[in-house]
Structure 1
Amino acid sequence: MPRLNQKGCPTPFLHPKLSRRVAIQAGAVGLLGLGTNHLTALQSLAATGEVAQAAPRARAVIYIFLSGGLGQQDSFDLKPEAPEEIRGEFKPIATRTPGIEICEHLPMLASRSQHWSLLRSLTHSSNDHSAGHLIMLTGRTQLPPGFDPTKPNPTDWPSIAAIAGALTKPRNNLPPAVILPEKLVHNSGRVIPGQLAGVMGPSRDPMLIEASPFDPNAYGAYPEYEFDHQERKRTPTVKRFQAPNLSLPEGFGATRFSHRLELLDHLDAQRRELDENAQTVQLDRHRQDAISMLTDPRVKQAFDVMSADPKMLERYGRNSFGWSLLMARRLVEAGVNLVQVNLGNNETWDTHGNAFPHLRNNLFPPTDRALSALLDDLHSSGLLDSTLIVMAGEFGRTPRISTLPNFYKSSGRDHWGHVQTVFFAGGGTQGGRVVGSTDKNAGYPTSNPQTPEALAATIYRSLGIPQSTHWTDAQSRPHYIYYGEPIAGLF
């Protein structure tokens, strides 16, 4: 637990100041072709304190997060026998696995059910977006001291991505954990809590690849499936999906690049900036990561999804959902241990109204296509067995359909933390399986209820992190990460 001051409030951990020598060593990062928007992400990789060693076998996780909350009754837990005001407009279809049915608008996933399983009984107590994000992104149901729904807080629990970044061994000089294609932001512009390292300190924030520009008035998988929940008249902005620039600066060929001293003449301006702004130590690691990204062709290819083979782009979908999951697959292949993929910013899946046309026409098609392509490629490459895919949101949706005529033309569902369905594939899970169940209205678990703590434990186990593992703060105090048991019945 964090240290408490005399008033009983947690105090943030202190970090040593950056020395000039380390700043000089790190100064080459910006000169190695990384844009300034990615320098901040690289700086977050330098962790202070000690971490426990992970299990010898390196495994990977792709955590797909549906910000806004997907309705279980409209996707993976349909109730066709329920009254009309409960069951909604969608009909179930059979999957490849006898006895398992899912939404008719997910046909590609239905034909691949041998690769995935469903947990239909994950539950927590919050119906609030910000609290729900923190709960599901950290795997901690109890809100932290000083929780602020309007912004990340230094006393927040560390995110699953931050823990994976701190407690798993880097491979190929790559960051262990990455979030893409953007941080989660509310349409007001405030950053949603739960994504960062919190009490672990900002030096352990996971690497953020901001490939998608934020648009407070746009939702979904641009450009093909961009929409507005309230269907207001608007002119879509032209947005470009842009990953880090991993090219060497002009004039720095491979031979010259190998002679690091030749870069020192170019460091003065960046050294001054680092002296003023850098807050962490061990920035030698930034330089190592930057060099790896520049010299390893696998890494460059992982980021450069827009130049992928046209047939591959077509399989994943030429939209931000497809590009994001393609990048996630390539990063896992290159050696990243955990990739969190935010499928939609601005609480894209918050379907209070116009839910059925927007799910049918804008949200399910790109998700169905991209996730199916990801399953196919990981399976064909032999990586699905060692790569766990998890897909969840901050909560489910209310059993009863509601209407808000002042804002929406048609009906939808409201927030519902009591139950949601979580999608699993790979990582040793058994395909074609359903764990847990809900009542006749998909409102509450009726068997095998599971918690966010169990979800986090499942992810940590899939990463090969032992249950005894802890991280150590600046005062050398241990903090354990398992607050539940891995979900039984999936493996």
Structure 2
Amino acid sequence: MSRAAQRNRTHGWNHSLVTRREALQAGAIGILGLGMNHLTGLREANAASATKPHGKAKKLIFIFLSGGLAQHESFDMKPDAPENIRGEFKPISTKTPGLQICEHLPLLAQRSESWALCRSLTHGSNEHSAGHHMMLTGHSTLPTGFSPNAPSRKDRASIAAIGGYALRERQKNNLPTAVVLPERLVHSSGRVIPGQHAGEMGPRHDPWLIEASPFHNASYGAFPEFAFDHQQRGKADNRLFQAPQLSLPSGLGMESVEGRLTLLKSMKRQRRALGHHAQVENFDRLRQGAVSLLTESSVHEALDVTHADSKDLDRYGRNSFGWSLLMARKLVAAGVTLVQVNLGNDETWDTHGNAFPHLKDNLFPPTDKALSALLDDLQASGELDETLIVMAGEFGRTPQITLLEKHYKLPGRDHWGALQSVFFAGGGVQGGNVIGASDAMGAYPTERPVKPENFAATIYSALGIPATAAWHDIENRPHQIYHGEPIAELF
């Protein structure tokens, strides 16, 4: 191994073993076996090579709002627009002079000094699956052969998978680096949404899935307190949020972990057995991660959130949103580096109709409460500066309010990839900061347009991942991690 390669390994990063300039030379392409398909990524990474990571964050909580949060009803209100644009909600002032957000997010308004906004994220798709892939992977173009109907190993790797790969050497225990909870995003038809796993990186790099929330094809939101159906079909929702079964990535030689963790005492025998095997057998890092999830008492406490301290439950909320963010907070405290929280099942935030009552009564109250409790906890413990929180969906909503009478009793907004507002907190983010702006209708960016590539790069940079970092495939070919510049003004 060359001295340069040894230096890269010493610092725990996978870097390209040649400079980008060398790799882009025609001779180097042939010598290294790089196909023409690698040129685009290497060229794009050239622009990012000078970026110095902000590097203050040690942990990430990525809150994903599947369905698409309406910017007009949340963080980019247009009170002076015509009625069919501005909607029913009114803005309120935050603690930051001049910054206003929706009246139904009063707790976040009181904590504006702890968070920032980007009001100008934009991409080119109004379709759910494509939008999910773009925002979950940080790529505004879709891979060749992309299908909205199912995930594929040709899909690009998710931000959680990339971050988990890049930060695996930072993990000081045997816990998995990246976790997704409390459920996989599944369409009401039963198809799994693309963009959630490691894609082309391969199954061994998939984030670990912690399933605590059962699938329901006609009920959304923060059950049991705030469950609702977009189309008000009246289908019963009897789901229970419970300490979950752990779903392991395929290919580990451990197909499943039997049983649930509903009662911790029921796991004692399995924990003892797995702990014994971990000592006497040559488990690799991933298998040891599986053992650690079952043997670490701090992990058991983190997973068993429905039986958490009553004061914590009162602050976060006794519902799936509150339990999910409390679980995320406990997992990062236990040592997990990245946690993606799907705040509601697939298309929970897809407010085509009945938008205003559902946002006011079912979506904003548990979100406002749980996210504010998370900010308070991290602030009180001194961990907010080293824990980056981001919140986004796959797209925003249309400027024009519409009524689809065939399906809904009341109006809402349709899909809109051209603009969404994204929330950032912690990890060195400058609170009270607003990046970018939109036009008077809330339709398009007018200042500082930001792409999914910039969104992903901001996360990687805040976590201290170098701009030269790459992941290597099974043939040891480098694939750059950065494909855009971070949103430097946030920090």
TM-score, with length taken from structure 2: 0.82
Deviations 1:82-114 (A, max 9, x none): 000000000000101110000000000000001
Change (3 A) 1:93 1:290: same
CA–CA distance in 1 between the matches of 2:278 and 2:112? 55
CA–CA distance in 2 between the matches of 1:442 and 1:88? 12
Question: Contact 1:60/1:462 (CA < 8 Å) preserved in 2?
Answer: no
Identical counterparts, % of pairs: 61
Question: Contact 1:174/1:292 (CA < 8 Å) preserved in 2?
Answer: yes
The corresponding residue for 2:10 is: none
CA–CA distance in 1 between the matches of 2:173 and 2:239? 35
Change (3 A) 1:294 1:99: same
Quote the offset at 1:236 in angstroms: 2.1
TM alignment of 1:12-411, pairs within 5 A: 59-169=58-168, 170-244=171-245, 245=260, 247=264, 252=269, 259-260=276-277, 284-411=284-411
Moved more, 424-433 or 57-66: 57-66
CA–CA distance in 1 between the matches of 2:270 and 2:440? 65
**What is the aligned-residue RMSD (CA, Å)?**
2.5
Deviations 1:393-452 (A, max 9, x none): 000000010010111001000000001000010010000111110111111101011111
Question: Contact 2:181/2:341 (CA < 8 Å) preserved in 1?
Answer: yes
Change (3 A) 1:438 1:294: same
CA–CA distance in 2 between the matches of 1:432 and 1:357? 28
Quote the offset at 1:240 in angstroms: 3.2
The corresponding residue for 1:18 is: none
CA–CA distance in 2 between the matches of 1:9 and 1:447? 35
Deviations 1:14-65 (A, max 9, x none): xxxxxxxxxxxxxxxxxxxxxxxxxxxxxxxxxxxxxxxx999871111100
CA–CA distance in 1 between the matches of 2:279 and 2:465? 41
Aligned to 2:392, the other structure's residue is in SS state strand
Change (3 A) 1:262 1:173: closer
CA–CA distance in 2 between the matches of 1:365 and 1:73? 17
Aligned to 1:64, the other structure's residue is in SS state strand
CA–CA distance in 2 between the matches of 1:257 and 1:456? 37
CA–CA distance in 1 between the matches of 2:129 and 2:236? 29
The corresponding residue for 2:12 is: none
Quote the offset at 1:304 in angstroms: 1.6
Aligned to 2:299, the other structure's residue is in SS state helix
Change (3 A) 1:250 1:127: closer
CA–CA distance in 1 between the matches of 2:79 and 2:54? 45
Question: Contact 2:398/2:416 (CA < 8 Å) preserved in 1?
Answer: yes
The corresponding residue for 2:474 is: 474
CA–CA distance in 2 between the matches of 1:429 and 1:373? 18
Quote the offset at 1:360 in angstroms: 0.3
Question: Contact 1:122/1:451 (CA < 8 Å) preserved in 2?
Answer: yes
Aligned to 2:434, the other structure's residue is in SS state strand
Aligned to 2:311, the other structure's residue is in SS state helix
Change (3 A) 1:248 1:403: same
Quote the offset at 1:202 in angstroms: 1.3
Question: Contact 1:305/1:327 (CA < 8 Å) preserved in 2?
Answer: yes
Quote the offset at 1:204 in angstroms: 1.0
The one-letter amino acid of 1:194's match is G
CA–CA distance in 1 between the matches of 2:303 and 2:359? 29
Question: Contact 2:156/2:200 (CA < 8 Å) preserved in 1?
Answer: yes
Question: Contact 2:55/2:465 (CA < 8 Å) preserved in 1?
Answer: no
Deviations 1:350-396 (A, max 9, x none): 00000000000000000000000000001111110011100000000
Quote the offset at 1:125 in angstroms: 0.6
Quote the offset at 1:263 in angstroms: 9.2
Question: Contact 1:177/1:206 (CA < 8 Å) preserved in 2?
Answer: yes
Aligned to 2:468, the other structure's residue is in SS state coil
Deviations 1:311-361 (A, max 9, x none): 110100000000000011111111111111001113000000000000000
Question: Contact 1:64/1:343 (CA < 8 Å) preserved in 2?
Answer: yes
Deviations 1:113-152 (A, max 9, x none): 0100110000001101000000000000010011001110
TM-score, with length taken from structure 1: 0.82
Question: Contact 1:58/1:337 (CA < 8 Å) preserved in 2?
Answer: no
The one-letter amino acid of 1:359's match is L
CA–CA distance in 2 between the matches of 1:219 and 1:248? 32
Quote the offset at 1:184 in angstroms: 0.6
CA–CA distance in 2 between the matches of 1:482 and 1:125? 20
Question: Contact 2:395/2:420 (CA < 8 Å) preserved in 1?
Answer: yes
Question: Contact 1:116/1:432 (CA < 8 Å) preserved in 2?
Answer: yes
Moved more, 361-370 or 293-302: 293-302
Change (3 A) 1:255 1:474: closer
Q: Which 5+ residue runs of structure 2 have no aligned equivalent?
A: 1-22, 24-28, 30-34, 38-52, 246-259
CA–CA distance in 1 between the matches of 2:469 and 2:288? 26
Deviations 1:249-276 (A, max 9, x none): 6774988876549999xxxxxxxxxxxx
The one-letter amino acid of 1:204's match is H
Deviations 1:215-274 (A, max 9, x none): 00111110000000011122222423332446576774988876549999xxxxxxxxxx
Aligned to 2:490, the other structure's residue is in SS state coil
Question: Contact 2:275/2:295 (CA < 8 Å) preserved in 1?
Answer: no
Change (3 A) 1:262 1:425: closer
Aligned to 2:220, the other structure's residue is in SS state coil
CA–CA distance in 2 between the matches of 1:320 and 1:288? 29
Report the number of matched residues: 426
CA–CA distance in 2 between the matches of 1:402 and 1:258? 57
Change (3 A) 1:413 1:301: same
